[in-house]
């Protein structure tokens, strides 16, 4: 998912309209609401800045998943959803096939919001006892020894808005636009499911709406069937999918296509769905998608859903975009026809490797989704415009206000720490192990864990195996324990030697408050009057370090980390101490 910082900068363009959207979303959904007394768009933008300083705080319910939910493995969801936008109502039939992984299990626990009314529930074709309280659905097994089970739930009602949106019956210019955004744990607002990201499934989803509406979902289109004035779209996946990535868009869309041809010569359709009034803009903004897919396929490994599709659909979530598997949702205010939001498109596409194919083992590992997708923005910029673009992209994501640890960020799943510091950690890992091993790590990690889930430790093991190094300290300081940047103070003097050479004595002090000592590779660059320079790399592993460098010419300048590889605040003490 990409929650766009650009929205904060662009308030002049989007102005007060944006603010009202934020207001309505904010109020309904459990993001900390804004103050009510705001009058001007300037005040609004300030307030939005404050609200997003740490990312939206989700009211995650710690009891959402019961221990029993880890004792089952869902294999397949067959969802039939009848949409009634005028009434804001759905009628659903969910057929869930799964296996129990423990013989003594006395009930199957799933997630399902109880505001939806269950009309019928059967287990292996027999009606079964169940309880639906809050967000839990428990189906009791009595004495039946289960192995494979088939649960059928017939239900209807109006889905509750929750999280960052959940299931929405929206409207634009008098037209209906239905969409969902379930990440992290709101799929159960619209279908019963084992809503754990690591319980991946295969999916059949049949969406029925008025025949004037196009209904879109994950995977490939099996069939379109007209029944009087209602049309059913049947979508299906070949590849496993996590519940939070299962999606539905239904509106009056204009469809257009492109294609991607893989290195092996396979052709895959790219399907775009634009709102009718934004077709021209969408054609401009979506244009580079095949190039982006080719770049990431070359860099990480072949696009992982090549037998299905890639697609982009506009939706009414105005806070950013969402990487729904094979059909990214782009907020309609991010389609402007000026290629202004390329990084958003790149980010969501990159999630198809990082987050979708390689899923997070738990939400504590969310940086493996967001940090990776964010670093992919920098990699794409580098591929287009070179090293300087890599550096400037990374500097645009630099902050000295990251908070909490990257692993297990609590309720701040979508904070700048998770996105931007996550990207910086990959950038620093690249500097630590070198380009060729770094990209080998990415390709190996992808190949090993695609269509499955990976934890932070899984990633670290790949890094250690390929670099043949113990990276415990690196990941401790940046991911598990450290919450700060390196604070590096330095001072340097030149001592003239008797043979005329110059001895540079550089003293370094790490002065960060909490994390005692970072270990890192540091480049020291010396610049000379004639315009030349020389560089040396040192490994810093002490709080206080003195480095001596002997050079022939007297340098006029010393620069630490000249290529911006480190999440470090570097201060020259020469400038205020003498």
Question: Residues interacting with Zn ion, by CB under 5 A?
Answer: 1-2, 370, 373
Q: Which of 254, 209, 262, 236 is nearest to 77 (CA)?
A: 236
Q: How far is the CB of 353 from Zn ion (least distance, A)?
A: 12
Q: Which of 188, 121, 126 is nearest to 155 (CA)?
A: 121
Quick one: which of 439, 446, 425, 427 has its CA closest to 467?
Answer: 439
Sign of CA dihedral 196, 200, 202, 206: positive
* Nearer CB in complex with Zn ion: 329/555: 329
Report in angstroms how near the CB of residue 347 gets to Zn ion at its nearest. Answer: 5
Nearest approach in angstroms of CB 439 to Zn ion is 21
Instruction: Give helix 456-467 / helix 367-385 axis angle, nearest 10°.
Output: 50
**Rounded least distance, CB 405 to Zn ion, Å:** 19
Question: Which residue, among 100, 102, 351, 69, has the nearest Cα to 188 in the 3D structure?
Answer: 69
- State both tokens at 115: 């505001």
Q: Is the Cβ of residue 233 or residue 354 nearer to Zn ion in the bound state?
A: 354
**Are the C-beta atoms of residues 234 and 204 closer than 8 Å to each other?**
yes
User: Counting Cβ atoms within 10 Å, is residue 398 exposed (0-12), middle (13-18) or buried (19+)?
Assistant: middle
Element (H, E) at 389: helix 387-396
Positive or negative torsion for Cα 233, 237, 243, 247:
negative
Question: In 184-260, where does DSSP find H-type helix?
Answer: none
CB nearer Zn ion, residue 5 or residue 150 = 5
Show the tokens assigned to 161: 């808005």
Please give the Cα distance from 263 to 337 (Å, whole number).
30
Sign of CA dihedral 156, 158, 162, 164: positive
Angle, helix 367-385 to helix 342-350, in steps of 10 degrees: 130
Q: Under 8 Å CB-to-CB from 445, ≥6 apart: which residues?
A: 358, 454, 458, 459, 462
Tell the smallest beta-carbon distance from residue 322 to Zn ion (Å): 8
* Cα–Cα distance measured from residue 68 to residue 426, given in angstroms and rounded to the nearest whole number: 35
State the minimum distance, in angstroms, from the CB of residue 430 to Zn ion. 20
Nearer to Zn ion, 153 or 322 (CB): 322
- The least CB distance from residue 373 to Zn ion, in Å, is 4
Least distance to Zn ion, CB of residue 415, Å? 12
- Give the residue with the Cβ less far from Zn ion, 1 or 94: 1
Q: Which is nearer to Zn ion, 386 or 410 (CB)?
A: 410
CA 285, 291, 295, 300 dihedral sign is: positive
Rg value, the chain, Cα: 26
Nearer to Zn ion, 2 or 430 (CB): 2
How far apart are CB 246 and Zn ion at their closest, in Å? 17
- The alpha-helical segments, DSSP class H, found in 30-123 are 41-52
Q: Which is nearer to Zn ion, 314 or 377 (CB)?
A: 377
**Least CB distance from residue 1 to Zn ion, whole Å?**
4
Q: Which is nearer to Zn ion, 248 or 344 (CB)?
A: 344
Residues in CB range of 228: below 8 A, 6 or more apart:
none
Which C-beta is closer to Zn ion: that of 160 or that of 397?
397
- Closest CB to Zn ion among residues 370, 420: 370
Closest approach, Cβ 355 to Zn ion, in A, equals 7
Helices (H), 216-288: 279-285
Nearer to Zn ion, 213 or 369 (CB): 369
Shortest Å distance, C-beta 370 to Zn ion: 5
Please tell me the distance from the alpha carbon of residue 35 to that of residue 53, in angstroms, as a whole number. 16
């Amino acid at each position: 998912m990409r929650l766009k910082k650009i929205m904060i900068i662009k308030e002049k363009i989007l102005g007060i309209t944006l603010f009202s959207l934020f207001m309505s979303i904010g109020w309904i959904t459990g993001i900390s609401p804004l103050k009510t007394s705001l009058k001007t768009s300037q005040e609004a933008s300030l307030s939005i800045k404050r609200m997003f300083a740490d990312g939206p705080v989700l009211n995650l319910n710690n009891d959402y998943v019961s221990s029993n939910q880890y004792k089952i493995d869902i294999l397949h969801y067959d969802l039939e959803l009848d949409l009634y936008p005028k009434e804001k109502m759905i009628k659903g039939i969910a057929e869930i096939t799964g296996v129990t992984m423990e013989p003594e299990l006395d009930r199957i626990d799933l997630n399902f919001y109880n505001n939806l009314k269950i009309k019928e529930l059967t287990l292996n074709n027999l009606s079964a006892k169940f309880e639906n309280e809050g967000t839990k659905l428990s189906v009791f097994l009595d004495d039946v020894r289960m192995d494979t089970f088939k649960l059928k739930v017939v239900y209807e009602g109006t889905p509750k808005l929750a999280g960052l949106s959940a299931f929405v019956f929206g409207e634009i210019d008098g037209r209906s636009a239905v969409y969902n955004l379930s990440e992290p744990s709101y799929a159960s607002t619209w279908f019963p499911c084992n809503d754990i990201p690591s319980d991946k499934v295969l999916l059949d989803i049949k969406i029925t709406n008025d025949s004037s509406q196009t209904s879109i979902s994950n995977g490939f289109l099996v069939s379109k069937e007209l029944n009087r004035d209602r049309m059913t779209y049947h979508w299906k996946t070949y590849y496993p999918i996590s519940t939070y990535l299962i999606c539905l868009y239904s509106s009056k869309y204009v469809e257009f296509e492109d294609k991607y041809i893989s290195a092996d010569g396979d052709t895959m359709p790219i399907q775009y769905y634009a709102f009718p009034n934004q077709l021209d803009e969408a054609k401009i903004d979506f244009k580079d998608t095949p190039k982006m897919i080719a770049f990431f396929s070359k860099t990480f490994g072949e696009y992982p859903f090549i037998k299905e599709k890639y697609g982009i659909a506009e939706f009414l979530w105005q806070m950013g975009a969402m990487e729904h598997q094979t059909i990214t949702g782009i907020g309609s205010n991010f389609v402007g026809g000026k290629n202004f939001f390329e990084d958003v498109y790149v980010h969501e596409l990159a999630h198809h490797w990082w987050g979708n194919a390689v899923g997070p083992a738990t939400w504590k590992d969310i940086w493996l989704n967001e940090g990776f997708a964010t670093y992919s923005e920098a990699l794409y910029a580098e591929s287009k415009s070179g090293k300087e673009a890599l550096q400037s992209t990374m500097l645009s994501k630099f902050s000295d206000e990251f908070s909490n640890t990257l692993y297990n960020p609590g309720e701040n799943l979508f904070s700048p720490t998770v996105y931007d510091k996550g990207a910086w950690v990959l950038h620093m890992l690249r500097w630590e192990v070198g380009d060729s091993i770094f990209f080998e790590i990415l390709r190996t990690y992808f190949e090993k864990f695609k269509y499955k889930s990976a934890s932070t430790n899984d990633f670290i093991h790949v890094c250690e195996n390929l670099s043949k190094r113990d990276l415990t300290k690196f990941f401790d300081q940046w991911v598990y324990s450290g919450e700060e940047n390196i604070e590096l103070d330095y001072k340097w003097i030149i001592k003239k030697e008797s043979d005329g050479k110059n001895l540079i004595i550089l003293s370094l002090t790490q002065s960060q408050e909490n994390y005692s000592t970072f270990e890192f590779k540091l480049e020291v660059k010396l610049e000379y009057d004639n315009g030349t320079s020389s560089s040396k790399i040192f490994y810093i592993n002490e709080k206080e370090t003195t480095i001596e460098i002997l050079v022939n010419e007297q340098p006029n300048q010393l620069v630490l980390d000249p290529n911006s590889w480190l999440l470090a605040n570097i201060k020259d003490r020469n400038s205020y101490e003498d």
